[in-house]
Structure 1
Amino acid sequence: MRVAIFDFDGTLYEKETFKLLMNHLKEHPIYRSNYNRFYRAIVPPYIANKLKLYPTSKMKELSMQLYLKAFEGLSTSEMDAYFEELKEKMQQHFNQEILSRLKKHQSENIHILLVSGAYTQFLNRVTTGISFDHIIGTDIPYKENRVDTQTRIIHVNGTQKSKNIIEALDGKQIDWENSYAYGDSYSDLPVLNLVGNPIAVKPEDKLRSVAKDRGWEII
């Protein structure tokens, strides 16, 4: 079995998810009152990260943990409704060339995975209408069907992505050499290195350099 693995931010979606999520919370008619608490909590680690005193991976994980505090106690269906509000706006900025590649791989009977650090529930809502065999993201903790902010999230990023991919495909015979992976960031390298056909999508400088050195396709 061949697979095609797609990153989300900067690859399928041409912009940054978390910026959109922040603005959505800030302007939301129901939940915007919780924005200031989130902002005050995130500024100190954000500044420390810019000063290279706090790792980017931990910064991303903390941001997603703090963001959920705005929705403490909400049900699964309420979170679905919140994320659903973003679908139309986000799909306007899906990369059409990447969507074409995705559909081409589907026509070739290739197993399609979407792998992202974004919330899994969010990914399921905003990609409605696009068929994936598997979506791997950061799970939102729930307790008795309510958002549980006391449980630490496990952020899917870097090597965690490739680990989750291997786990999701456990028991299947994968033809890695003839499989595909699409990513835009240097942090996507662990995933890109899994396959024989890695594709760098509008890559950041560090990934572009690697892609050029290794003769990878660049979109």
Structure 2
Amino acid sequence: MDKLAIFDVDYTITRKETLMELFKYVISKDKKMIKFLPRAIFSGTMYGVGIYDERKVKEKFLKFIDKIEEKHLVDLVKSFYEDRLSKLLYKDALDMMKKLKHEGYKIFLISASPEFYLTELYAIKEVDLIIGTKFLFEEGKFARKMDGFNCKGEEKVKRLMEVIKTENIDVDFENSYMFSDSLSDKPLLDLVGKPYLINYKKKHEFEILKWN
């Protein structure tokens, strides 16, 4: 049986929220993109008061790359990883991946963040699979439309189970790990025998690890 080591991404293996970092990176490359900041603030506010759901807030927020050609988006996220994202990774997270990979675990990253840039994390040689929120491309351009559901909570479990079924993986969940900074990942944390919260501020029944 295969043992999994599952990692959330934002604030679990990274110090910051990755989608906002992508936006800031785009602004650093083209100062005119600051024009999308009011939209980002408005979308966040609408989500905070419960008017926008997570699908709508992400689709609204991603206006700053709306209709970018796919080949240009590939170049953008590659440079984003090299220049910024790779520098946000917790050393303790990378060390844990190396340790568990050496012990025979499959390393999965499962996140609600957009998959179109999370796939750059395959540069971490220990990573076997990345699952994130999917977005559509139409006529070779980014369409700013979510493909399926936001990959959060129970949806993470559903997406994982789809991969397990498709790849015919026989998983030993009792001896598998899950690492997350948030209880929104409780469905995945409950699925494994070795759940851990990362840098969690309150006491909890799950063991808490401090990562830097």
Q: Same fold (TM over 0.5)?
A: yes
Q: 1:70 to 1:19 in 2, by over 3 A?
A: closer
Residue in 1 aligned with 2:172? 175
Measured in 2, the distance between the counterparts of 1:203 and 1:80 equals: 34
Structure 1 segment 148-163 matched on structure 2, within 5 A: 148-149=143-144, 151-153=145-147, 154-163=149-158
Kindly provide the amino acid, as one letter, of the partner of residue 27 in structure 1. Answer: S
The superposition leaves residues 145-174 of structure 1 with CA deviations (integer Å, 9 ceiling, x where unpaired) of 22123x344321111111111111113211
After superposition, the Cα gap between the structure-2 partners of 1:53 and 1:119, relative to the gap in structure 1 and judged at 3 Å, is closer
1:145 aligns with one of 140, 146, 154? 140
> For residue 96 of structure 1, what is the amino acid of its counterpart?
K
Q: Distance in 1 between matches of 2:88 and 2:32?
A: 28
- Paired AA for residue 24 in structure 1: Y
Judge conservation of contact 2:43–2:61 (CA < 8 Å) in 1: no
Q: Supply the distance in 2 between the matched residues of 1:93 and 1:70 (Cα, whole angstroms).
A: 22
What letter corresponds to residue 90 of structure 1 in structure 2? Answer: L
Instruction: Say whether the 8 Å CA contact 1:5–1:113 is kept in structure 2.
Output: yes
Deviations, residues 66-107 of structure 1 (Å, cap 9, x unaligned): 233322332222111111222232222211111111111111
Indicate the residue corresponding to 1:39 in structure 2. 37
Q: Give the C-alpha shift of residue 28 in structure 1.
A: 2.5
1:71 lines up with 2:62 in the alignment: no
1:69-218 paired onto structure 2 within 5 Å: 69-88=63-82, 89-149=84-144, 151-153=145-147, 154-170=149-165, 171-205=168-202, 208-211=203-206, 216-218=207-209
Taking a change above 3 Å as real, the CA distance of residues 161 and 101 of structure 1, as seen in their structure-2 partners, is: same
Percent of pairs with identical residues: 23
3-state SS in 2 of match to 1:133: strand
Q: Any runs of at least 4 consecutive aligned residues in structure 1 with deviations exceeding 4 A, and if so which?
A: none
Structure 1 unaligned blocks of 5 or more? none
CA shift at 1:217, angstroms? 4.7
Instruction: Report what 1:27 is aligned to.
Output: 28
* Gap change, CA 1:162 and 1:28, over 3 Å in 2: same
Q: 1:168-217: per-residue Cα shift (whole Å, max 9, x none)? A: 11132111000001000111111111100001111243xx4242xxxx35
Higher mean C-alpha deviation, range 195-204 or range 87-96: 87-96
TM-score, scaled to structure 2: 0.85
Q: TM-score, normalised by structure 1?
A: 0.83
Contact 2:9 2:110 in 1 (8 A): yes
Q: Which has the higher strand share?
A: 2
1:9 positional shift: 0.7
1:19 partner letter: M
Q: Which runs of 5+ in 2 are unaligned?
A: none
